[in-house]
Amino acid sequence: MRAFGEQVILRPATAPTVNPGGVIELPSAGSEYKCRGYIIDVGPDVKEGHGLEIDDELVFEAGNAFTVDGIKYITIHADKILVVI
């Protein structure tokens, strides 16, 4: 599986709440809750300055969920990354 452009593919740290359209839902607007996940792949257009590596744990704002062979993944734009843990 490969990410394109400025996308990052993640394995969720915990099962996200996903609406029927595949968008991850945060508990409420203004909530301090953020999503967490582990990097599976980083797109080629993600700037070198991000310093992202496979298996880094991230905290991010929002993303889109998808499933491949029964395994859930999330794709996010690199600008949605808040923290690398």
CATH entry 2.30.33.40 includes domain 7-84: yes
Secondary structure (DSSP) of 22-83? SBBPPSSTT-S--EEEEEEEE-TTS-GGG---TT-EEEES--EEEEETTEEEEEEEGGGEEE
The residues spanned by each domain of the chain are 7-84
Report the pLDDT value the prediction gives residue 61, as an integer from 0 to 100. Answer: 87
pLDDT for 3-46, tens place per residue?
A: 999 999 999 886 656 778 888 766 554 444 468 899 999 999 88
Report the pLDDT value the prediction gives residue 51, as an integer from 0 to 100. Answer: 83
- The whole-model pTM stands at 0.75
For residue 73, is pLDDT > 90? Answer: yes
Q: Which residues of 57-75 are buried (b: 16+ CB within 10 A; e: fewer)?
A: ebebeebebeeeeeeebbb
